[in-house]
Structure 1
Amino acid sequence: MSPAPVPAVDVPPPDPVPARRTRPIELSGSFTVGGQRLCYTEYGTGDRVVVLMHGIMFTRRMHAPLARRLARAGYRVVTLDLLGHGDSARPAESWRYSMPAFGEQAVALLDHLELPSAVIGGTSLGANVALEVAVADPARARGLVVEMPVLDNAIVAGLLTFAPLLFAARFLPVTVRGVALAANLVPHGSQWVDVVTDTLTQQPEPMAALLHGVLFGRIAPPKSIRRSLATPALVIGHEGDPIHPFGDADTLAADMPNAEFVQARSPVELRMDPQRLTAAIKDFAERCYES
């Protein structure tokens, strides 16, 4: 007797090999504004451009992960070291540092790259600089991505945080040099370790000039001007951070006639759990380029 036939079993096809996520093209460059050298990095290529700017005493490296994600989505992203930060020049004259001056530097970047306009974004200081771009040259800003803006509600906390740093840089420069020396001894290679060590690597004279210029100058465009800014804006804010109060972000979104507000779950959501906010930024930038 022949053996009973073995029933056929449907074998599922093997899982497809996931496509390798290639890193977008990254190119660094520099240009000069007022005799001072400013440095930037470009990620990706294309006609849809996003400019990202960092927080105070941070560098363009802080936005590298977001820049790469946006570049993989088809955007050309440019991260800029503002004057006194990162690889850019660090003059020791406080008059060189102000929010309007930083805004002029961002516009000069667009000129250097021969870009008629871009979506302009930033975090903290960079967020306020994005607002200054919309004030100084509205036609150059297709839209604004404003994360953690600093307005009236942050003034006291900002002074309590940065005034001691200004004092140390002016009167105890050895402490600033010591911290910088220790930071330079930390091995590089990790994104956020590098961001922190970049921030700690300061020299007292330019650090004091930067803090003096920013703290005692115009922090943000006044409410009367904000209410007239017709540029589309995506405002991102969060709770539990006195330097970047929820009320400042919420107020800014209410002031600007074409702003929308997204509440972050924490100050580090865009860095540590970026999917939701990155999707919101990509959707906003896409709408800016469709209009």
Structure 2
Amino acid sequence: MPHFSSDGLDLHFVDEGPRDGAPILLVHGFASSIRFNWTDPGWIETLTKAGYRAIAFDHRGHGESAKPTEEAAYRPQRMAEDAFRLLDHLELETSVFFGYSMGARVSAFAAIDRPERVSKLVLGGLGSGLIDGVGDWDPIARALRAPSIDEVKDARGQMFRAFADKTRSNREALAACIAHSRQELTEDQVRSITCPTLIGVGSKDDIAGSAEKLAAIMPNATAFEIANRDHMLAVGDKTFKAAVLQFLET
């Protein structure tokens, strides 16, 4: 498996599709991985068949990457630097950043910190929650640290614990990740993101917040409603794929 080094950590990545294709950097969500966020839902196949170079990495604490358990390791700025170091590793100056959920937050931080390296931005599974927050995630941390899912009573905690168990994740690393990875941005910071942006949120998503509200703040953004999809199912939706391809082509 290909790996690169970032911040003293060994991180796993994939690089698929034509080398002369426009690069799309895929930044997955919390408790997910390349496989569960991008491969299994068909994104890598969709993008490479359309002629794009699909690049994805497992976040620190996730998938096949190193799993620090220090909470400070998971600040969005540090996770965005992982993305830039992967671009450096592949000798790419710029890329489209396509993030889902936590990955969308990390991608937004990337667009603010180094706008010259982000040509376009796709934010999936995260709307106004980027600014307003996405609710109380402390029950999720407790759910991840519980000895058994049978002891978890919080509905959202059960959902993420079940997903972490399904993906065979390091639950202590994920619990540490929650502490800092949900850092919010201000409206002024979001307003400073000027690259073309597509924001896709499921109509039944009770985590992400409003795509329309976020798009109204940003100077060059469009909202897309992923009909009849919740936070977990929106990522692989066919209409979302079509909207992203259309956005990339413009």
- Which structure is higher in RCO with an 8 Å CA cutoff and minimum separation 6? 2
The normalised TM-score by structure 2 is 0.84
* Aligned pairs (5 A) from 1:1-291: 28-45=1-18, 46-61=20-35, 62-64=37-39, 65-149=42-126, 150-156=129-135, 159=136, 162-170=137-145, 172=146, 174-175=147-148, 196=163, 200-215=167-182, 218-219=183-184, 221-245=185-209, 247=210, 249-265=211-227, 266-267=229-230, 268-271=233-236, 273-274=237-238, 276-287=239-250
Aligned-partner Cα distance in 2 for 1:164–1:147? 23
Q: Which secondary structure does the structure 2 equivalent of 1:205 belong to? A: helix
Aligned-partner Cα distance in 2 for 1:34–1:154? 27
Report the Cα offset of residue 255 of structure 1: 1.2
* 2:157 aligned residue: none
Q: Of the two, which has the highest radius of gyration?
A: 1
Q: 1:197 to 1:128 in 2, by over 3 A?
A: closer
Q: 1:75 to 1:128 in 2, by over 3 A?
A: same
Aligned-partner Cα distance in 1 for 2:234–2:143? 31
Aligned-partner Cα distance in 2 for 1:163–1:197? 16
Count of matched residue pairs:
231
Report if aligned partners of 1:49, 1:75 keep a CA contact under 8 Å in 2.
yes
Aligned-partner Cα distance in 2 for 1:118–1:251? 26
Aligned-partner Cα distance in 2 for 1:51–1:199? 25
Q: 1:207 to 1:270 in 2, by over 3 A?
A: closer
Report if aligned partners of 2:21, 2:51 keep a CA contact under 8 Å in 1.
no
Q: Compute the RMSD of aligned alpha carbons.
A: 2.3
Report the Cα offset of residue 104 of structure 1: 1.1
Report if aligned partners of 1:237, 1:250 keep a CA contact under 8 Å in 2.
no
Report the Cα offset of residue 237 of structure 1: 1.8
Report the Cα offset of residue 111 of structure 1: 0.7
Aligned-partner Cα distance in 2 for 1:48–1:122? 16
Structure 2: runs of 5+ lacking an equivalent: 153-161
The normalised TM-score by structure 1 is 0.73
Aligned-partner Cα distance in 2 for 1:56–1:199? 13
Query: Once the two structures are aligned, what percentage of the paired residues are identical?
Result: 30
The letter for the 2-side match of 1:232 is: P
Aligned-partner Cα distance in 1 for 2:58–2:166? 12
Report if aligned partners of 1:94, 1:212 keep a CA contact under 8 Å in 2.
yes
Structure 1: runs of 5+ lacking an equivalent: 1-27, 180-194
Aligned-partner Cα distance in 1 for 2:163–2:114? 33
